[in-house]
A and B are shown apart, each in its own frame.
Chain A
Amino acid sequence: MNSAEELKYLLPNSVVSVGVQTNKPQAVIRKEDFLKVAEKVKELGYDNLSVITGVDRVDRIEVIYNLFSYKKKQNLALKVVLDHRSPEVDSVTSIWKVADWLERETYDLVGVKFNGHPDLKRILLPEGWIGHPLRKDYDMNTEQFVTIGEDGEDIVSPDGSNLLRRK
C-alpha cells in the first residue's frame, strides 16, 4: 500500500481518487475537506512541503501540494481541483509555515485565492500587475512596464514612455 492508498484507507470520504504521477503517489482531495486532510497528513509524518504548483487546465484549475516525509522517506502529492472562474481553497499556512510564500506564488501566477492566508499578495510580480500570467487566458498582447516611483516602489503601467528610449 503506497502513501496515497494509505490516506484513502484512513479518510475514505475526503479522498476522491488515488493514483501515481511521475513515480509519486498522488491523492485527489475534495476541496471542502482539504484543511482537515492536510492536518491528518501532517500527523502521519509528512513534515516537509516542498512545493505548491497551480495548473490551468482551461476548464478547471488544479493545485498540487508536493510533500515529503523525512521520517518515512516517502513522497505524497495532494491535489485539489478548483473551479476555473473563482478558484478558492483553504490555506495550509497554519500547518506548514513554508506555505506562506508558496501560496503567495501560486496566487501571483495562477490567481488561486487561499482563504485564511495571513498576507495574500503578489510575491514575484509588482503590485498593480494586471492578470495572472500562467493562466491560459492571460492577455499577451498588452505589454506592461515597470518604473520606479518616488519612494522606490514599483509602478506598473502599459505606457513605457518613461522607460523606453525615444527612437
Chain B
Amino acid sequence: MDPVTIDTTKIRMTKRKPETALEKLEDTNLINTLLAAKDREGFILLTTIDQAMNWGRLSSLWPVTSGLACCAIEMMAVSMAHHDIARFGMEVFRASPRQADLMFVAGTVTKRMAPRVKQLYEMMSEPKWVISVGSCANTGGPYHESYCVLKGVDNIIPVDVYIPGCPPRPEAWLYGIIQLREKIKNEGYGAKWGLNK
C-alpha cells in the first residue's frame, strides 16, 4: 500500500467568521457546556447554578453545638474573638442540628455516646459536612486500646476533613476549615466535569 500523504494546501488555516445563528452559538463556550452536559445525561441548569450555591454554602457554614471532650474546649477558643471564625461566617453555633450544616466531632467518641453522635448527624438536614477533630475522633487516639472508645468516628458517620492533634491548635482548626471550604467549592456537577472553573 502507498503511504498516506496529506495535502497541506487543502487545509484552511484561517477561521471562518461565524455567520449563521448556529455558528454564532457554536462559537460561544455555552454550547460546549450544553453539549458536555447532554453527553453525560446531566442537569444543564445545575452546572451553572452550582457555583452560586457552593459560594452561598461555604460562606455561612453553621456548626452544631456539640463537644465531647477536651477538644471541645479548643473549639470554644476557636470561636472566640482571638481566632475569630466569624470571618468564615461560622460564628453561629446552632443549638439545633436542624439548623446546622457542619458538625465538629470534637473529642472522644465513647461507645455510649456513639449512637447519639450518629443520631445528631442524621438529624442534620442536607447538605451537611463533618470535621473530625483530634486523635480521639480520628482513630481513638490515646484511648485506642480502651474497652469503651470507638476507634475513629468514621466508623459510624462519613467524615470530610480530619484535623490531627491532641488537641489541635486553633491554627490547625482554621486550616481544616479552609480545606473544607476548598472542598465545598469543588462540589457539584460543574466542577466534576471540569466546567465552571
Asked if residues B114 and A165 are in contact (CB atoms below 8 Å), the reply is no
Name the CB-closest residue of A to B155.
A164
Among B23-31, B35-43, B72-80, B115-123, the stretch that binds chain A is B115-123
Asked if residues A148 and B119 are in contact (CB atoms below 8 Å), the reply is yes
Asked if residues B114 and A163 are in contact (CB atoms below 8 Å), the reply is yes
Asked if residues A125 and B115 are in contact (CB atoms below 8 Å), the reply is no
Asked if residues B147 and A148 are in contact (CB atoms below 8 Å), the reply is no
The answer to whether the Cβ of A95 comes within 8 Å of any Cβ in the partner chain is no
Name the CB-closest residue of B to A140.
B147
How many residues belonging to B are interface residues under a CB distance threshold of 8 Å? 15
Take A125-B148, A133-B148, A140-B147 as given contacts and tell me if A148 and B115 are in contact as well, using a CB distance cutoff of 8 Å: yes
Closest CB-CB distance, B133 to chain A, in whole Å? 19
Interface size bucket, A side? 10 to 19
Instruction: State A125–B154 Cα separation when bound (angstroms).
Output: 23
Asked if residues A163 and B148 are in contact (CB atoms below 8 Å), the reply is no
Name the CB-closest residue of B to A167.
B155
The answer to whether the Cβ of A138 comes within 8 Å of any Cβ in the partner chain is yes
The answer to whether the Cβ of B166 comes within 8 Å of any Cβ in the partner chain is no
Residues of B contacting A165 in the complex (Cβ-Cβ under 8 angstroms): 154-158
Contact of A163 among B115, B145, B147, B158 (CB under 8 A): B115
Asked if residues B114 and A145 are in contact (CB atoms below 8 Å), the reply is yes
Asked if residues A146 and B147 are in contact (CB atoms below 8 Å), the reply is no
Name the CB-closest residue of B to A139.
B147
Instruction: State A146–B156 Cα separation when bound (angstroms).
Output: 12
Closest CB-CB distance, A58 to chain B, in whole Å? 18
Known: A163-B156, A165-B154, A165-B156. 11 other contacts (CB 8 A): A133-B147, A138-B147, A140-B145, A140-B147, A144-B147, A145-B114, A148-B115, A154-B112, A163-B115, A163-B118, A165-B155
Chain B residues proximal to chain A, CB less than 8 Å: 111-112, 114-116, 118-119, 145, 147-148, 154-158
Chain A residues proximal to chain B, CB less than 8 Å: 125-126, 133, 138, 140, 144-148, 154, 163-165
